[in-house]
Structure 1
Amino acid sequence: MSAFLELLPGLRLEPLPARLPRPDRPMDPADEAATRFGGIAATAVHPFEVAAAIEAEGVTDRQVQRHYGRQDAFELAEDLYADTPRHYPEPEPVPSPWTAPLSASLLRGVLYALPGLAFPLGAPLFAGPADTGRLPHGTFALALSVLLTWAWNQALAHRAHSWLGRGQRRSAGRCLARGAAVGSGLGAGGALLAALLAERASGGVLVFCLGQALYLGASCVLLVLGGEAALLRALSPAALGGAAVLAGLLRPSPVTALLLVCTLGLTALQAWRLLRACRDDGDRGSAGDPKPPLRSSLPHGFFGMAMSLLTLGAALRGGHIEVAPTVALTVSMGPAEWLLYGYRSRIHAALRAAQSARGFALLSARSLALGLGSYLGALAALGGVVGVALTGGPSGQQLPGLLALGATIWTALLLQATGSAWTAAGVCIPAAAATVAGATESLVGGVAAATLLLIACRTLGRVTVHR
């Protein structure tokens, strides 16, 4: 034996260990399943998602029974989902589609208020005996004309935006052209009806109401189609002339009333140009696509009627016209629009950040409170500034009613923008009727605002509303 070993000089013999090492023990089936599918289970939102991943790996029910001791992939998925802590990765930031520059919203607020400067220029047209309730001559004719035109234009704007959202700009232009003509006729007919019923409105009042109805129709076209800059240029003659009359630099006369005709002509011209551009743009999509249903625009018309009644109720108080709160409320519609975009942008981020339904509801309520509080702060500041400019000082008695009305309008606009137009109209129409009937403005506005706020917190706290 030793001679044989000498023939292998490179061979070294090691002593045998006392115990041979045992082979690795097989992994526990539960640990193996957690290792293989734990990453999927940690990010899943339902056991079915884990089951789909197991089946996608080619694991059959027989293999699940043999290796993991479960009946099928669904039972294994349920156990994994229950035993694995949730760990959702942070979503990648996505730019919000709900963005709008503050300057554009402020410009729209100014455009809503500037037509008010036409009234000093048109003062000679309103000469005559006072209406019932000691209101200025022609107030009822003007109010009914505004009421009908405002309601019609709200529905018209919604329907035109429905066409634009489908990429059918030519159809939107055709809708606006026909709708603006009908709305102008409604406004003129409302003024004529009020004149016939009251037997007080003069021919000058009817002429002014006709011009106002035509202007509102043309301005609706410009605002829907993005012609804010053109509308600002068209308003310049009447705005500058009205400001000069208020400053005492001019006296209203039939000659200064020509500035109103100039503004009306420029507005109609700019609207016609945009409508002609829509006709040249054409439509995208199939010609057989269904039209937007008319009933979808109906609540927006009712909502516009309610808003006009609330605004008119706030303006016509105590036998005279309250100019300051009306101007402040009108100008505030610009910041209101921007804050509505802000709410939608924060909700877009909350949809990705919230990890539970309750968490999203809290984020929605916080965003709602931030938007409403910011708007009321802006409205209070505007009320003070406008009060100082027009009456020499802010009126503390008007502020509670103004803020209550503002809260009602902003919350209703938010509900309308998120698909609850019927709800907004259903709350605002009774509030408007109570205001016209003579109920206290702060009480009516407070009740309506509280009701809308409760509805908004409950409705907008659901994820499905925002998708």
Structure 2
Amino acid sequence: MSGPLRLVQDEGGAERTMQLRTLPLKLRRQAPATPVQPEPEDELGLSADPLDELAERLNDICADAVHPYEIAAILESDGLSDEQAALLYGRPDAFTVAEELFEKVQRRYPGPSSEFANPWRADPWRCVVRGLVFALPGLGYLLGANLFATARMRFGLPSGMLALSVATLVSWGFNQALAHRSYRWLSRVRRRDAAVCLAVGAPMGALVAATAAYVVGGPLGSLCFAAGQSAYLGAATVLLVLGREKFLLVALAPASVGAGVVLAADVPEVVRTVVLLASVALAIGLAARELLRCVRAGDKDAPALRLPLYQELPHLLFGLACGALTLIAGLGETVHQAVQASGHTVHAVHTTVTHAAAHAGAHPGAHHAAGQTKAALTGPAMIALTLSLGLAEWLLFRYRAMAVAALRTSHTSAQFGRRTGGILLGCLFIYLTTVAALDAAATVLWPGAPALGVPQLGAMLLLGGSLWLALLLNAFGFSWSTALICLAAAVAESVGLLTGADPIALQLIGCGAAALLLTAIAGPALGRTTQHR
């Protein structure tokens, strides 16, 4: 989910981007077998209206258009200027040409054709796998729970947990930007360059995140755990971007099995550490193998191409904002109680801190089964959010597929806007309903978990809805808008939390405002036909 969605899901790496169709080439007329006497108005070889010939050439395009502006966009993309419109067709500008073409050609709306097949198809099983690989890393926190000593408290958390949280935020932001840059290479059919980008960026991101954890400080065991998590997240980014999410299931198998054993029996610390290292080593090894294969198979003689780095900045900020909002949802209540208990010095009570380790540093939406009071309250919500990420990706593809279908069948731009608005609300409703259902199921399965109250459920749904809308707008190129809105919500919630405000109220206000703004942007922007051509 880190970057623009590829149009065609192809394991072979055939990544393509949507391009405007250029004007059909003028067909060469065959010489007639017998001389034909020209019509009186065609003695010089000119038609009565040169626009008739253009209408014939653009018949299919004009028949599918729902507004003259669509035709004007295609004319301008093909290089038709106002001067050429006046010289060649006797019209003052390209928009006048487009309007007359729109009137000349009868609407047909044939629906999707072989020439312009709907490219937004997603394999639902692949999305299920991606949802699992987003959620399963949280099982690693069962195995590493003993590494977070509670002797030193900072902001209501064990010092090691604070370092892990900082490392998670850094990894989230860095890998979001890295994934987007790699997808930009893939969209240009430069798989080798994408692999080189990942080979350089993933280790760099892991090193930066581990260094950030070391600067914050904490017990040696927790710092080693943070370093291992950073390395895993870098390797996971490589495999996800290159479409090898099934390899991540293999890498996560030791940690998943080990977590199940830990729930049933007491496992020595050495065994837990070996199992965690096995999962990290498998992820790194599989990622390195895939990168090496892509580099060797790539075209080394491809022309040089440079992509500006500044375009990754909004995605880095968006990753940081998503991480902060998710951590506040998981740890907000613990930090709030610590602030209330100790004023603004922020020293925590031992019994409330232990359970916060459940959610601090996971891949989007971590969880831990040490759940008693606070972990049991937020754990099911975090599980629901992580498991729903696969559905979120599928719904992004589904929205774009249905929007393209609406573009092919709508008769007016207003009708298209209404249809896309309904599609948007429908996809959002399906996603939020599924999140609520997953939370209810996780609450039943989580030992001792209380039922989620209406305010808590509302805060979780607003967070999930905000992130889904932000991902959708990111896919359409509104990266700065989504990054700034989510970042503003994250900063506001963080400041409010550290000053003692109620975390649920903060999430309702922060995520609610973000969801409202994102919806206000998405409705009009995605209702324009030019966004879907």
TM-score between both structures, scaled by the size of structure 1 = 0.80
C-alpha distance in structure 1 between counterparts of 2:104 and 2:200, whole Å:
60
Partner of residue 333 from structure 2, selected from 311, 318, 331? 318
**Separation of aligned partners in 2, 1:457 and 1:252:** 54
Q: Note the 1:425-440 alignment, pairs <5 A.
A: 425-437=483-495, 438=497, 440=506
Picking from 301, 308, 312, the partner of 2:316 is 301
The structure that has the greater radius of gyration is 1
State the one-letter code of the partner of 1:431.
A
Equivalent pairs counted in the alignment come to: 402
Q: Which residue does the alignment assign to 1:343?
A: 399
Classify 1:74/1:113 alpha carbon distance in 2 versus 1 (closer, same or farther; 3 Å): closer
- 1:234-273 map, 5 Å: 234-245=251-262, 247-251=263-267, 253-273=269-289
Aligned to 1:395: 452
Residue of structure 1 equivalent to 2:109: 90
Indicate the SS of the match to 1:256.
helix
> In structure 2, do the counterparts of structure 1 residues 258 and 73 end up closer, same or farther at CA, with 3 Å as the change threshold?
closer
Distance in 2 of aligned mates of 1:241 and 1:341 = 35
Deviation at 1:405, TM superposition (A): 0.4
What amino acid is the match of 2:379? Answer: V
Shift of 1:286: 3.9
Q: Percent identity?
A: 38
Within a 5 Å distance, the mapping from 1:372-451 to structure 2 comes to 372-390=428-446, 391-396=448-453, 397-437=455-495, 438=497, 440-451=506-517
1:93-132 correspondence runs (5 A): 93-94=112-113, 95-132=117-154
Specify whether residues 82 and 339 from structure 1 end up closer, same or farther in structure 2 by C-alpha distance, changes over 3 A only.
closer
Equivalent residue of 1:100, what SS? coil
Alignment of 1:277-292 (within 5 A): 277-283=293-299, 286-288=302-304, 290-292=305-307
What is the CA-CA distance between 1:74 and the residue it aligns to?
6.3
Residues 207 and 306 (structure 1 numbering): CA distance in 2 closer, same or farther, change over 3 Å?
Answer: same
- Structure 1 distance, partners of 2:382, 2:203, is 27
After TM superposition, the structure 1 stretch with the greater mean CA deviation from structure 2, 439-448 or 384-393, is: 384-393
Deviation of 1:126 after TM superposition, in Å, equals: 1.2
State the shift of 1:381 in Å.
0.8
- TM superposition shift of 1:456: 0.5
1:405-425 CA-to-partner distances (Å, cap 9, x unmatched) read: 011100000000111011100
- Please report how far the alpha carbon of residue 311 of structure 1 lies from its aligned counterpart in structure 2 after TM superposition: 0.3
Sort the Cα spacing of 1:83 and 1:268 in 2 relative to 1 into closer, same or farther, 3 A: closer
**CA 1:466–1:203: 2 relative to 1, 3 Å:** same
Bigger relative CO (Cα 8 Å, ≥ 6 apart): 2
Displacement after TM superposition at 1:347 (Å):
1.1
Judge conservation of contact 1:168–1:285 (CA < 8 Å) in 2: no
Change (3 A) 1:462 1:241: same
Deviates more, 1:247-256 or 1:429-438: 247-256
Distance (whole Å) between structure 1 residues aligned to residue 457 and residue 301 of structure 2: 50
Alignment of 1:13-92 (within 5 A): 87-92=106-111
TM-score (norm 2): 0.70
Alignment-derived partner of residue 411 in structure 2 = 355
- Answer yes or no: is 1:463 the counterpart of 2:529: yes
Measure the CA separation in 1 of the matches of 2:437 and 2:387.
11
Aligned-pair CA distance for 1:130 = 4.8
Q: Please tell me the residue identity of whatever aligns with 1:272.
A: A
1:258 shift after superposition: 0.8
Shift in alpha-carbon separation, 1:317–1:84, aligned structure 2, 3 A: closer
Q: For 1:373, give the aligned amino acid.
A: F
SS of residue in 2 equivalent to 1:129: coil
Q: 2:111·2:408 contact (CA, 8 Å) conserved in 1?
A: no
RMSD, aligned α-carbons:
2.9
How many angstroms does 1:402 deviate by? 0.2
CA gap 1:161/1:284 in 2 versus in 1, 3 angstroms = farther
SS of 1:138 mapped into structure 2: helix
Change beyond 3 A, Cα 1:344–1:284? farther
- Residues 81 and 186 of structure 1: CA distance in aligned 2, closer, same or farther (over 3 Å): closer
Distance 1:291 1:460 in 2: 30
Q: How does 1:322-333 map to 2 (within 5 A)?
A: 322-333=378-389
| Unaligned stretches of 5+ residues in structure 1 | 1-32, 50-71, 196-200
Aligned to 1:143: 165
Shift of 1:116: 0.6
Tell me the distance in 2 between the aligned counterparts of 1:145 and 1:419. Answer: 28
CA distance 1:147–1:252, change in 2 (3 Å): farther
Deviation (angstroms), 1:90: 2.9
8 Å CA contact 1:124–1:254 kept in 2: the answer is: no
* Partner Cα separation in structure 1 for residue 388 and residue 103 of structure 2: 52
